Structure 1
Amino acid sequence: MVGDFGALNSYTVPDRYPIPRIQEALTQLSKAKYITSMDALKGFHQNVLTPKAKRLLRIITNCAIYEYLRMPFGIKNAPSHYPIMMNTIFLTELSEEWLIIYIDDIIIFSDSWSLNLERLARVLEKFAGVNINILLKKCKFGFEDKALGHFLSGLSLGINKNKVEAVLLKPIPQNKKEIMSFLRFASYYSQHLKDFTIIAKSLYRICDQQTVFEMKEEKIRSYEKINTALTEAPLLLIQDRNIPFKLYIDASGDGVGAALHQVQIIDNKPTEGPEPKSPWEVVHMDWVIALPPSGDKSYNECLLIVDRYSKTHIFLPCHKDDTAMDTALLIWNRAISHTGLFKNIISGRDPKFTSALWTNLHRLFGTKPSISTVYHPQHMG
């Protein structure tokens, strides 16, 4: 049953409830390790009407007069009344800053799984107390990296790639409604898209009521640029209020510009594997090739050995046509006899280092060989 509330709405004073800023919500979520998101079942219908409101929203038919018990759709102030109701119910939780109400999403966040469950129990208890039902298929419990259409990682913020892929699969917009839908989606992520307003300017023009819709070459290029920008959008660091800000000002004859900066030191990934505890445990070997002949024996190559612990270098002159046996004897006589046996040798994929002789020598002396991957010379020190 549907009621026509047009006359009632014309006398209703608008109750304009501000939508929370998405950036503030995401900033709160940025440090959370566990996030739970819930959606109320038919949010408008969760509002219980007062006796006076029931009388105003009566529907008169030939058979009977009906009254709504809960807020129906079509009421002017229904969209704003729902978040007001939710904020009133969860006023304590909002003040403790571990719960966010964004339009029709109720989001719980925490640093640990046990705390997330504890807070979830508090929210569900309040839902039960006011007889509010949730839509289970839209609820997500204890996820770690996605909320409000964004990807969250530590103090960084990115675009949810799943949502972008769905948009990219759609054909080029064929009417104003489709182009407006695309622009609304892109503008939601505009902070990630450099020069978004400049690129989208031509697309916004064709949405004007007085303009005939035509997707000419210029508009198609703008549309494709935005699509490309969405797929290549960078991660943005979220401000950390625990470290200082710096104000940079640039003045000129035409005006003054200012930018608020913050330096955030991101920890580097820890080095994998144990570090050597003494010199000549782990060494890197590589060739210096194509040298001009020098010395009495016309050496034209050099074997470089680098100690990982002390960064000491040993340069051993040799010849391009030396065999694996020649190289092994050179290392034994000119290096190992002074340094002692190596525990780990990191080298390239030269046939001398991958030969059967070299493999047997490693097994005999208990040395661990580490062969670098293709096109990755950094392994050789």
Structure 2
Amino acid sequence: MGKSQVLKVFLSSMGPKAPRAGARGKKNDEPKGWKTPTTLTEMRSFHGLVSFYRRFSHNFNTIMSPITNCMKGTKFTWTPEASTAFEEIKVRLTTALVLVLPDFSQPFELHCDASGVGIGVILSQRGRPVTYFNEKLNGSKLNYSTYDVEFYAVVRALKHWSSYLAYNEFVLISNHEALKHLHIQDKLSARHAR
């Protein structure tokens, strides 16, 4: 009689398949085989599944924007832009994500970026990402000026990662020239004060 294996548990995820004891090294390539959604239900299911991974991928919501735009209303509409986004998300889910654990004795770096579609922020240390934050713009935020959207990205990042940044040094890095004068503004607009 051979060896018995009772209650052997494997955790299947995107990436290596791992038993409780450790990684086996075999890659799970399921996302590569995903078919393009053909119904609104399939599209919503895909969106719900991949949304968990947004904190591990830079500009996730901006990339997902064409897909979320297809989900509006009750009629299924799939666009070429949505197909491109679908393929990009599949690639990102099967590519190794390398995040570092935060070291609270070192200063953090907050890299903020914004576009007309969304904001993306990277919290990093020594040039290596700790985590990501992404948000798709909607409603009145779509009408914000470039300065206001960049400012909004900074404020959202500070709120989102307050537990990391409240008592630690950090450097704010933005590619928007006007934000470098933020600390010397005499008066804030009502929107900025909120």
The TM-score normalised by the length of structure 2 is: 0.43
The TM-score normalised by the length of structure 1 is: 0.24
Return the index of the structure with the highest Cα Rg.
Answer: 1
Higher relative contact order (CA 8 A, sep 6+): 2
